[in-house]
Amino acid sequence: MKQPARLARRALPPIAFAAGFALASAALVCLVPPIPVADGKLEWFREGGDRFDALFVGSSRTARQIVPSVFDAAMAEAGRRVRSFNLGLPGMWPPEDGFVIEQALSRRETPLRYLIVECNGLRLGIPPQGREMARAVYWHDVARLRALWRRAFAPPAASPETPPSADALAQNLGALAGHARPFLWNASRLGRGSELLREALAPEGPARAAPSLGPAGDGYLPRRPRPTLAGAELDAYRRELEAALRAGPRRTYGDAESQAELRRKRVLAERHGARLVLVAPPVATQVFAPLPEAGIAFLDFSDPTLYPELFAPEHRKDAGHLSDLGGELYSRLLARRIAALP
């Protein structure tokens, strides 16, 4: 009898700690708001975005390259009046973008006409430069962790009967492990008790600053002007462009779970009355695309032969991004392509 009693006494402190941690975490989850996204731009759109009927979501190739005012004017010229909002965020890839879309539309009362999403596959790892940032925490919920788990074991989309190799699986599981800590931090609101204390000590303190929505109030924030490509950077870009021209179309269909993520976005768009439009931005590298049989509208701007103006050095900020003038050209072309959809 002494042995079980001794074991019970030893187990009591860790059990008590776990129970106390769970209760404290539950209290913080109830009392502390989630991490604001994009300096509060997501929260602002969720509360007051009903007056916009087209929404852009994607990485910096959306946030810094699609100008809603230019897009709206080109749509109006084509006979389709819309008011669009840019909810792009530098470095945002799936499954983070799926979380942002869900949250943005969660309180919407009026139908959305277009959900225009930069087409990327599920990114299993977290970039080293972002692992210690709040950006690595806020979107880690159960749904996103489930998608990442399935992505780790997902076969290629082109051959769904072929499982990933042992080496690929080991690498995937290593990347997946990196999501454990952000998930726990998000689930427990760890490190955010100071916000609760600050609000308790100064309940009448200054309100959170309004998010910066850009000069037109449509989410587009112009960046500082930068000189066009020159020198070694220009030479490297020209070599990359020549290689892209020789290679021809460079579409990839990724893995089965990344394709499933696209289908989930389509269902979410249709739930809010919107048409999902996936876009491959103008980059001279391989682009991710939906399977042809998926039936999802896909606009591919990655072909330099079809869109030479988007790849002209004078319209590039760097090899992966357009200049401000290039962004305006891209916004007009995107609007014309969307307006021409059946």
Tell me which DSSP letter residue 113 carries.
S
Tens of pLDDT along 98-135? Answer: 999 999 999 999 999 999 999 999 999 888 777 767 77
Tens of pLDDT along 22-80? Answer: 454 444 445 445 556 656 899 999 999 999 999 999 999 999 999 999 999 999 999 99
pTM of the model: 0.85
Cα gap 134→193, rounded to integer Å: 15
Mean pLDDT in residue range 213-229: 86
Contact between residue 187 and residue 25 where contact means Cβ atoms under 8 Å apart: yes
Q: Does the residue 5 lie in any domain? A: no
Higher pLDDT, 225 or 194: 225
Q: Does the residue 73 lie in any domain? A: yes
Q: Does the residue 176 lie in any domain? A: no
pLDDT value at residue 331: 98
Cα gap 195→340, rounded to integer Å: 49
Contact between residue 187 and residue 21 where contact means Cβ atoms under 8 Å apart: no
Q: List C-alpha distances in Å: 254 to 120, 153, 258, 259.
A: 9, 13, 7, 7
Q: Which pair of structure tokens corresponds to residue 84?
A: 């669009």
Q: Does the residue 198 lie in any domain? A: no
pLDDT at 180 exceeding the cut of 60: yes
Q: Does the residue 2 lie in any domain? A: no
Tens of pLDDT along 265-306? Answer: 999 999 999 999 999 999 988 999 999 999 999 999 999 999
Mean pLDDT in residue range 222-250: 84
**pLDDT-derived band of residue 248, with 50, 70 and 90 as boundaries?**
confident
pLDDT value at residue 37: 61
Q: Does the residue 197 lie in any domain? A: no
Residue 285: give the domain boundaries. Answer: 38-125+214-339
Q: Does the residue 13 lie in any domain? A: no
Mean pLDDT in residue range 190-211: 53
Q: Does the residue 226 lie in any domain? A: yes
Residue with structure tokens 């030893």?
10
CATH number of the domain enclosing 266: 3.40.50.1110
Q: Give the count of domains, the chain.
A: 1
